[in-house]
Amino acid sequence: MLRLLLCLVTVISLTNCQVPPFMEECVNNAYPPPASHKVPTYVVNLDLPAAQRWTHVVKDKGPQIKNLLNEFKSFITDIFHGSQAIVDFIDKAGPLVDETLPQPFADEMRGIANVTGLKLGEIVFFNVFYEFFTVCTSIVAQDPTGKLYHVRNLDFGLFLGWDIKNNTWSVTELLRPMVIMVDFQKGGETVFKSINFAGYVGILTAIKPKLFTLTMNERFNKDGGYIGLLEWIAGQRTGQWMGFLTRNVMEKASSYLEAKVMLQNTEMLAPAYFILGGNATSGPFQQGCVITRAREYPVDVWDMESANGWYILETNYDHWEAPLFLDDRRTPAHHCMGNMTQQGVSIKGLYNVLSSRPVLNKLTTYSALMQVDSGHFEAWLQYCPEPCIPW
């Protein structure tokens, strides 16, 4: 938490500006967004050899992946005063790390590197990055008829290149063209669907139609993912990478309860919040929860029935603690959910909540909207018009 606060203060001083006055709004006319904001869909065939599964995706998105990695490298060298040591380490250590990764993920990353012409180390680094900088808002909500919806904003790019001239985060701007919807199929049938950044093989947002929905939010904690990564490189490999765990859950779990057990009990490299929605909505069987994870064990499992009764909401702070005063998306989100009421729970109503500042901010790359029973899944690129706070 101290690390986050120091970084926020640093951004403010470097940009020579003050934190904008707190702006809370609850919009009611954001849906539907412009058609130009709709996220394209790709099919990934899990029956193909792992190295071939992403070929068509990264052929389309290769230039964007290269641009983003160049920005990452530029940011690193700027922070460390022009030193190439870290960039060289990424290039050299990445292939060695890839050799230690479980299949099919190692081969999928090798295939992406081969198609794009990028170094394998860069692709491995690209797939690690999302474990450390994902700042989000996730909501599971039940409408009056008992249908469960699961929505999220994915905010990414905090501290990664604030553009003073345009009031934007450079990495966030580069990520939006890389957002894709992925239909993972076997035998021509959908296994699950996800929202991915092209080139990333893990899962941050996904639905297994008729069974469950899942989003992941980063948890800021002293045992952060960088510690787990260093331990992995040093040969201590008892934990799973978060994105691989969530991918395994989406492929292998056949129920909400099975997914819940996997997410609670699997040791990981980084702490996280897992927001899980199911398809049952009656009494003690109501299926919606936030799993607060340390690397080795579950810290807390917060069920929707005890949270609110008709919805549960998570940003990036333990629900029993107050959020950081500079980053309180939780209070405005609750306010907008209260204004909407349970009667308003729908794709439209929840998209309006996600589009209300500061839930919507300069870091927001996309909004995802899921309804588990019907298998409905849609995603839209998000842009926050001025005046808009950076985070």
What is the CATH number for 200? 3.60.60.10
Higher pLDDT pick, 322 / 101: 322
Q: Contact, 148 vs 281, CB < 8 A?
A: yes
> Within 10 Å of residue 32's Cβ, how many Cβ atoms?
12
Number of structural domains, the chain? 2
Regarding whether 270 and 220 lie in a shared domain, the answer is yes
The amino acid at 217: N
Per-residue pLDDT of 76-121, as tens digits, reads 766 655 556 656 666 666 677 778 889 999 999 999 999 999 999 8
DSSP string, 260-290: HHHHHHS-BSS-EEEEEE-S--SGGG--EEE
As a whole-number percent, the residues of the chain with pLDDT over 70 amount to 83
Q: Residue 260 — very low, low, confident or very high, per pLDDT cuts 50/70/90?
A: very high
Residue 82, pLDDT score: 53
Higher pLDDT pick, 160 / 296: 296
Token pair listed for 271: 């702490």
Regarding whether 124 and 140 lie in a shared domain, the answer is no
Q: Which of 17, 26, 136, 289 is catalytic?
A: 136
Regarding whether 70 and 183 lie in a shared domain, the answer is no
Verify whether residue 26 is a known catalytic residue: no
Residue 9, pLDDT score: 42
> Within 10 Å of residue 217's Cβ, how many Cβ atoms?
24
**Which residues are CB-contacts of 293 (< 8 A; sequence separation ≥ 6)?**
219, 263, 264, 268, 271, 272, 273, 274, 299
Residue 73, pLDDT score: 77
Q: Residue 280 — very low, low, confident or very high, per pLDDT cuts 50/70/90?
A: confident
19 pLDDT exceeds 60?
no
Residue 108, pLDDT score: 97
The amino acid at 335: H
pLDDT average, residue stretch 48-68:
96
Q: At what angle do helices 120-128 and 105-116 cross, to 10 degrees?
A: 120
Single residue among 93, 128, 163 that ends a domain in this structure: 128
Per-residue pLDDT of 161-210, as tens digits, reads 778 888 898 889 999 999 999 999 999 999 999 999 999 999 999 999 99
The pTM of the full predicted model, rounded to 2 decimals, is 0.91
Would 373 be classed as within a structural domain? yes
Would 176 be classed as within a structural domain? yes
* CA 45, chain centre distance (Å): 22
DSSP string, 273-334: EEEEE-S--SGGG--EEEEEE-SSSEEEEEEHHHHTSSEEEE-SS-TTSPPPGGG--HHHHH
Regarding whether 86 and 27 lie in a shared domain, the answer is no
User: Structural domain of residue 251, as residue ranges?
Assistant: 2-41+136-381
Regarding whether 80 and 180 lie in a shared domain, the answer is no
Helix/strand/coil for 163: strand
Nearest to 41 by CA among 152, 171, 198, 208: 198
pLDDT average, residue stretch 248-265:
97
Segment among 21-35, 131-145, 158-172, 361-375 with least mean pLDDT: 158-172
Would 165 be classed as within a structural domain? yes
